[in-house]
Structure 1
């Protein structure tokens, strides 16, 4: 994918981006290992100089799809890769709270992803300051959310200054470079770059987040139960031990357990 291809795709690049590149800003590429992160990286690779790119991956531990970090390394150009992790995992969080995250209370995102990533980026800027890099605190935090994914994400502002993180000498911007891309375009640009997405897509998954995500549909939950039966068993046990269900009730079916949704039954006693 050459430079002209990049600008053909990123036809809504904020005017500030050229200025931020010229000022030496550090572009932090949030990379989950999924298709959206992968195509975002490919686009930014042709736009931002290599010395101004770093990659940050929030390791989700036991609930992450196997091979995420290996896939990131195989599809990137050797930029610094910072792997960060929450102080406690998702399953531990559910056990301690006695409930699952929900679309309105997404501790999984804040505690497992956003918090560790922001702490890592702040640490990187401190290191750059110690190295006496002139633009040590100038950050563009790049994320792969797309408008097509949900009504909530369609309303996100693609480029904005992050006031909460713009302090202590930092100037921090959040940017969604692929906000306008469709799912079809994402796969097309990955193929055009001579790459393939992570193996779970070919195995039947439509999304790449936690193996079992509260935002997943029935097909993805069922596929994930087939691909990762041991982890599925853990989630079913958590539903039984907490008396809660992972998925929000639907208008059509009401409250359902994972076993009811997927039809994949687990014959196992609850682990105390």
Structure 2
């Protein structure tokens, strides 16, 4: 069997902003949002292995917003494993009125009489807002006190994300009196009965090589495993499939060929990622393709699912 070259242990050390460090040592809860993707996995590992963790006196937990049928089939098991390996409780939340696919079908029905597009877009991301953010904020509110809501967003990912602030006050979940203050002011002026939620991007400045290292792997190992998986697809040799996936620490979608982990078929994904998602999630692909044909609106502004090579 082909030997896989494994990397050395990750050495990235996250710098804690002063307001975050102060909140953690004074009992703030730390809620880590994980999707199963490499960035949130890197964040999870870097924080749970952080040398200052013993000083953080508050609750630490992992949160996952389950998108239902829009998820990769491997995602639920992946986030469970990641949280278990990190030694954290996993809280899974979902949209109470149906999964994301149902939400898109509802939007299609609502907009049909007007003849308007219904798919989420970069500027109309009701998928993220309703299926992820709104559900996670409910947990932040229930935790009470001071909560740090950590997300695995990185500046390197896109020009838009590079403009994000590393620490912000989550106004939707913070008490009214302090919600418009800066993070440091809100923490300093908060009364014991008030709730403060701080959004934090711990790996904002971490580069891709260090992300993979924090996931206990590397780009080189990933390429090795992808080559084995391609050979399996060509030959059907189960031993090659086992070699490609056994011992892999991140989500299987990366080995399958996907460059990022989000919905199995995402309205913002590249053509290659859509084809990879369609191949490995045929039932979902069929549902979305039927919606595209029924509505007449393409899945992306310049790409129709009907034009994908999904085989």
Secondary structure at 1:9 match in 2: coil
Tell me which residue corresponds to 2:103.
93
Contact 1:159–1:173 (CA<8 Å) still a contact in 2?
yes
> Could you tell me which of 254, 259, 263 is aligned with 2:309?
263
2:62 maps to 1:52: no
Tell me how many residue pairs correspond in the alignment. 242
Matches within 5 A, 1:133-172: 137-167=145-175, 169-172=194-197
Q: C-alpha distance in 1, partners of 2:309/2:59? A: 48
- Of the candidates 37, 42, 45, which is equivalent to residue 40 of structure 2? 37
Deviation string 1:110-141 (CA, Å, 9 cap, x unpaired) is 0110011111221233xxxxxxxxxxx11100
Does the C-alpha gap of structure 1 residues 183 and 259 become closer, same or farther in structure 2, counting only changes over 3 Å? farther
Q: Choose which of 80, 92, 115 in structure 1 pairs with 2:89.
A: 80
Contact 1:34 1:197 in 2 (8 A): yes
Deviation at 1:27, TM superposition (A): 0.4
Out of 271, 290, 301, the position equivalent to 1:248 is 301
Within-5 A mapping of 1:1-272: 8-11=12-15, 13-47=16-50, 48-49=53-54, 52-76=59-83, 77-87=86-96, 88-98=98-108, 99-125=118-144, 137-167=145-175, 169-191=194-216, 196-249=249-302, 256-260=303-307, 262-264=308-310
Structure 2 segments unaligned to the other structure (5+ residues): 1-9, 109-117, 177-193, 219-246
How far apart are residue 232 of structure 1 and its match?
0.6
Provide TM-score, normalisation by structure 2. 0.72
**Does the aligned pair in 1 maintain the 2:61–2:88 contact within 8 Å?**
yes
CA distance in 2, matches of 1:152, 1:162: 19
1:75 and 1:195 in contact (8 A); partners too: no
Whether the 8 Å CA contact 2:140–2:197 is kept in 1: the answer is no
**Does the 8 Å CA contact 2:62/2:89 hold for their aligned counterparts?**
yes
Tell me, yes or no, if the aligned pair for 1:239 and 1:246 is still in contact at 8 Å.
yes
The normalised TM-score by structure 1 is 0.82
Question: Does the 8 Å CA contact 2:174/2:197 hold for their aligned counterparts?
Answer: yes
CA contact (8 A) 1:214 1:246 kept: yes
The SS at the match of 2:147 is strand
Q: How many angstroms apart in 2 are the aligned matches of 1:21 and 1:93?
A: 37
The whole-number CA distance in structure 1 between the counterparts of 2:279 and 2:139 is 34
CA contact (8 A) 2:147 2:196 kept: yes
Higher-Rg structure is 2
Deviations 1:35-58 (A, max 9, x none): 111110001102334853111110
Compute the displacement of 1:96 (Å). 1.7
Deviations 1:187-213 (A, max 9, x none): 122126997111111111111111011
